[in-house]
Amino acid sequence: MDDLLKDFLAESAENIAQLDHDLVELERDPSDTSLLNSIFRAIHTIKGTCGFLGLARLEHVSHTAESVLDQLRSGVLKAEPEVISDVLRAVDLIKVILVELESQRAEPVGDDSLLIGLLEQWITPVAEQKAVNTDSAVLPAIAVEPGALLSPSYADQRQQINSSLRVNIALLDSLMNLAGELVLNRNQLLELASKEEDSAIAMPVQQLNRITAELQSAIMKTRMQPVGSAWGKLPRIVRDIARETGKKIELDMKGAATEMDRQLVQALQDPLTHMVRNSADHGIESVASRRAQGKAATGKIVLNAYHEGSHVIVEIRDDGKGIDVAEVRRTAIERGIVSREVADTMSDCQALRLIFEPGFSTATEVTHISGRGVGMDVVRSNIERVGGAVDIASTAGAGCTVCIRLPLTLAIISSLIVRASGELFAFPQASVLELIHLAPGEMSDFDMLQNVRLFRLREDLVPVVYLADELRLGGCEADQVRTLVVCQAGRARLGIVVDEVVDSQEIVVKPIGRLTRSVRCYAGCTILGDGRVVMIIDPAALAIRSGTDTAAVAQVAVEQPAAPAAKQDSLLLFGVGDDAVQAVPLSLVARLEEIPAERIESTGGSLVVQYRGSLLPLVAAGPSVTFTSGRTNSVIVFNEGSSSFGIAVNDIRDIVDEVLNLELIAVRPGILGTAIIGGAATEVLDVSYYMNRARGGMVS
Amino acid sequence: MIASAESTDEVVTFRVGKQWFGLPVMAVQEVIDHQATARVPLARSCVAGLLNLRGQVVTAIDMHDRMEIPAAASESLMDVVVSDGGELFALVVDEIGDVVAVPTHILERLPASLDCLWARICTGVVRMDHGLLALIDVARLLDEPSTRP
């Protein structure tokens, strides 16, 4: 309410100043209807806002003045000096009340009946006009001494009110451009000055340097807007949802004064609205349900904005029911966003982030308030478009927190200047994850999958493109040390090979012209210190352009970190007679031995072999394993605690690395299942079954 | 110079290859020596690059390419800086001529033989001492790429 009052005072001060002038003009030229209309509008505006703010006295006065003006407009009344004087008196009274309002935050008490009466005589039919004494001598009660309006307090207040002013955005942008130019000039001067020692210009150039930097940052500040200006609609939205759903919700907004670039404030508006809606609609429980859980009946949504380094953080926190991670998993699998295997291996945090995927919504019922399945993915793409990031955390039953991280400004970004085929390009630093030095030999090591180069970055496979190829620059020398710039390109990562990283610097982002806009690779362009124009690469657009952003590759990039199950196992392959091959994970195997058949003895129906000074129980891996005198058998030795046992097979075939995907086909005792190994279906041995048999043999 | 009371257009003339063209003087912001440009990879072929004009980024248009006139061996190129739709463009041309006054009544309609590219960009022709002068419509010259391959 305070802000509204302040706005009202500032606006009214402007209007009133104009009114004085206009009314006097009107007196001079009563036929000027446009002037009359503008006066009417000004008074009308004041009246309207007064009513809204509950300022009864002001409203009454301005309403009456407006009625008089209406008579003037309709031509019933002529703009004679007497009428104008009375309207001016009303304006004066309005001023007095405004001054009081500014200092006391409340309307002063007073009786305006005399002035009202004076004004009303003009509204009453013309015939009765003369009946009222218009002698101003009877008006001392109004106490509008002209001096009061010029009194220091009013003048001061006016100054305070007018300490801000509206400026055209185009003017600010041109100031920004001019500052950019100045920076270029300064850079040239600095370079000149550095060449001459003891030069007389050294000092002034240093001064210029400092002033330019300050000027630039001051101009940057003019583009700043409090983040709270994107919050205006939220209380109403929350209230409406609360009413509609019968919930009790309190919206607490902190850090509304936190400033950021106006463009970013705009970009924040829709995502914020969406998320607050989500919190109110889906997060906060009904009063009954909250009571049942022992929570306060009134749910709370807290917005919190603050600066953190060169970023602005905006948090949306609610104390509702939180997000059910299990349901997120289930829905994501249902909608085909991830496979079950991948979902199972994801941590809760990772799984929660699935709600940012396109086509996801956990709302089981569609209400008209929110939850149409387009939501969080739009939120994320909006935030990412302006170089921000969004993350979510949730505790079941205790609420959910969404954290948005935005850069302070879009106009100046830190960037990495790289060279590819002799041309310079800039990468937004925010999207660069890491730089990797590539020796000449390493580039041929890229794995290929569907014609996409992949680079193994620790646990992940990252698609790789050559910047020179993508931009068709030509002149790619094969054997050369290069740098791999690993970027966050939308949802996935992209490695971009460049010749070298030249520099990192703060650059002023300039829009690119309409003839080049159709090339969707650039986020803009900039002018470097030496005056050179350089294109800014948009890694996300490059990923789409190069086709590495297709689902297949994104899937690889996404799945690899989260899917340890897909890791390869070393498998020991062995023959069990009749050309049948079985496999056993090498990690379980203790040793491999070749044992002559005659050393294998049979005791009480069980096979044993004297081995390292003790008896090693043996089990044949299937009936087709034969023990022929004069030949040796292969024995796979397993350790189980302090004891060991062996499985006798025909021969050892191979050791292969393979992803072990067991399928439960043709399961029988001793076989865990079947897997595709080396392109052939292979049975995988159940070691525990043989161990039990070997033990049983020992006992019996 | 202005013989009649009829309206007269002031036109900046320039040469591309052997052809002279004219632009309304109000469309031209300035004429400068050709500046070094930064390439814009993947942009349409008539975009010669971007140049820095006192801190403003200007899209340079290769007029040879745009008008499909074979490029002559390097001459001293000039940039005609024009403003259109709040954006600056530099037309890279071979030579700058005089600013001439063209009375509207001597403007001739485009001959039907003109190919459709030129017919689209030019608004009329004027007979001058050294041949025909083709008047150019800036907005159409700087059309979005979608209208042309």
Q: pLDDT per residue over B60-99, tens digit each?
A: 999 999 988 887 766 688 999 999 888 899 999 999 999 9
Q: Which residues of B touch A535 (CB under 8 A)?
A: 38, 40-41, 50
* CB-defined contacts A:B, below 8 A: 76
Instruction: Please check whether residue A478 is in contact with residue A444, taking contact to mean a CB–CB distance below 8 angstroms.
Output: no
**Non-local CB neighbours of A210 within 8 Å, separated by 6+ positions:** none
Topology of domain B8-143 in CATH is OB fold (Dihydrolipoamide Acetyltransferase, E2P) (2.40.50)
Does residue A215 sit at the B interface (CB-CB below 8 Å)?
no
Q: Across residues A611-616, what is the average pLDDT?
A: 78
Summarize pLDDT for A682-700 with one digit per residue, the tens.
Answer: 888 888 888 877 776 444 3
The conformation of residue B110, written as its DSSP 8-state character, comes to: P
CATH architecture of A412-562: Roll (2.30)
The verdict on a CB contact (< 8 Å) between B41 and A180 is: no
Name the nearest CA neighbour of A694 among A603, A562, A572. A603
Name the nearest CA neighbour of A581 among A679, A691, A688. A679
Beta bridge pairs of residue B91: B61, B80
Does residue A531 sit at the B interface (CB-CB below 8 Å)?
yes
Distance to chain B for A470, nearest Cα, Å: 9
Compute the distance between CA of residue A524 and CA of residue A520 in angstroms, rounded to an integer: 10
Instruction: Please check whether residue A42 is in contact with residue A34, taking contact to mean a CB–CB distance below 8 angstroms.
Output: no
For residue A562, CA distances in Å to A26, A325, A340, A422 come to 77, 16, 12, 39
Q: Which residues of A touch B141 (CB under 8 A)?
A: none
pLDDT at residue A140 tops 80: no
Lowest-confidence region among A283-297, A548-562, A565-579, B41-55: A548-562
3-state secondary structure of A23: helix
A466, two tokens:
């050559």
Within 10 A of A574 (CB to CB), how many other CB atoms are there? 22
Beta bridge pairs of residue B40: none
Residue A124 — very low, low, confident or very high, per pLDDT cuts 50/70/90? low
Compute the distance between CA of residue A173 and CA of residue A222 in angstroms, rounded to an integer: 10
Which residue on chain A is closest to B86 by alpha carbon? Answer: A513
CATH 2.40.50.180 fits A567-699, yes or no: yes
What pLDDT does residue B148 have?
42
Within 10 A of A518 (CB to CB), how many other CB atoms are there? 12
Give ∠ CA A114-A116-A121 in degrees, rounded to 5: 100
Within 10 A of A317 (CB to CB), how many other CB atoms are there? 19
pLDDT at residue B3 tops 70: no
Name the nearest CA neighbour of A549 among A537, A561, A559, A539. A539
The verdict on a CB contact (< 8 Å) between B42 and A472 is: yes
What pLDDT does residue A304 have?
92
pLDDT at residue A142 tops 70: no
Compute the distance between CA of residue B59 and CA of residue B36 in angstroms, rounded to an integer: 12
A594, two tokens:
């070749």
**Global ipTM:** 0.86
Cα atoms in the Cβ-side hemisphere of radius 13 Å centred on A70: 12
Give ∠ CA B72-A519-A410 in degrees, rounded to 5: 120
Give me the phi and psi of A21, to 5 degrees please: -65, -45
For residue A510, CA distances in Å to A185, A263, B120 come to 18, 14, 31
A134, two tokens:
């218009």
The conformation of residue B45, written as its DSSP 8-state character, comes to: T
Name the nearest CA neighbour of A633 among A559, A569, A563, A575. A575
What pLDDT does residue B22 have?
93
Name which residue leads in pLDDT, A614 or A534: A534
Give burial (CB, 10 Å; 0-12/13-18/19+) of A368: exposed
A633, two tokens:
């058998």
The verdict on a CB contact (< 8 Å) between B142 and A515 is: yes
Instruction: Please check whether residue A285 is in contact with residue A389, taking contact to mean a CB–CB distance below 8 angstroms.
Output: no
Summarize pLDDT for A184-231 with one digit per residue, the tens.
Answer: 778 778 878 877 777 788 888 888 888 988 888 788 788 788 888 888
Residue A433 identity:
L
Q: What is the 3-state secondary structure (H, E, C) of A504-528?
A: EEEEECECCCCCCCCCCCEEEEEEC
Of A471, A513, A527, the CB nearest to B41: A471
What pLDDT does residue B16 have?
92
Give burial (CB, 10 Å; 0-12/13-18/19+) of A426: buried
The verdict on a CB contact (< 8 Å) between A521 and B41 is: yes
| Terminal alpha carbon distance of chain B | 43
**What dihedral angle (degrees, nearest 10) is formed by the CA atoms of A39, A45, A51, A54?**
-100
Topology of domain A2-161 in CATH is Four Helix Bundle (Hemerythrin (Met), subunit A) (1.20.120)
Which residue on chain B is closest to A530 by alpha carbon? Answer: B52
**Non-local CB neighbours of A679 within 8 Å, separated by 6+ positions:** none
**What dihedral angle (degrees, nearest 10) is formed by the CA atoms of A483, A484, A485, A489?**
160
What one-character-per-residue DSSP string does A137-178 give? Answer: GG-GGG---HHHHHSHHHHHHHHHHTTS----HHHHHHHHHH
Within 10 A of A476 (CB to CB), how many other CB atoms are there? 15
Counting DSSP H helices and E strands in chain A, the numbers are 20, 29
Residue A426 — very low, low, confident or very high, per pLDDT cuts 50/70/90? very high
Q: Across residues A321-345, what is the average pLDDT?
A: 83
Compute the distance between CA of residue A549 and CA of residue A557 in angstroms, rounded to an integer: 10
CATH 1.10.287 fits A169-222, yes or no: yes
pTM confidence score: 0.51
Compute the distance between CA of residue A434 and CA of residue A374 in angstroms, rounded to an integer: 32
What pLDDT does residue A457 have?
82
Residue position matching structure tokens 């259109």: B84
Topology of domain A226-407 in CATH is Heat Shock Protein 90 (3.30.565)
Give ∠ CA B124-B130-B136 in degrees, rounded to 5: 25
Name which residue leads in pLDDT, A412 or A467: A467
Summarize pLDDT for A387-411 with one digit per residue, the tens.
Answer: 778 888 888 888 888 888 887 766 6
Q: Domain residues of chain A, as ranges?
A: 2-161, 169-222, 226-407, 412-562, 567-699
What pLDDT does residue A340 have?
84
Residue position matching structure tokens 């009466």: A117
Supply the angle between the helices A56-74 and A81-104 in degrees, to the nearest 10. Answer: 160
The verdict on a CB contact (< 8 Å) between B50 and A513 is: yes
Instruction: Please check whether residue A606 is in contact with residue A698, taking contact to mean a CB–CB distance below 8 angstroms.
Output: yes
The gap from C-alpha B134 to its chain's centroid, in whole angstroms, comes to 9
What pLDDT does residue A152 have?
44
Residue A417 — very low, low, confident or very high, per pLDDT cuts 50/70/90? very high
**Helix, strand, coil percentages in chain B from 3-state DSSP, rounded to 5:** 15, 50, 35
Q: Which residues of B touch A513 (CB under 8 A)?
A: 50, 57, 59, 87, 89
Pairing of β B8-16 and β B122-128 = unpaired
The conformation of residue A491, written as its DSSP 8-state character, comes to: T
Instruction: Please check whether residue A498 is in contact with residue A420, taking contact to mean a CB–CB distance below 8 angstroms.
Output: yes
> A249-287: string of b/e by CB count within 10 Å (b at 16+)?
bebebebbebbbbbebbebbbebbbbbbbbbbbbbbbeb
Q: Which residues of A touch B35 (CB under 8 A)?
A: none
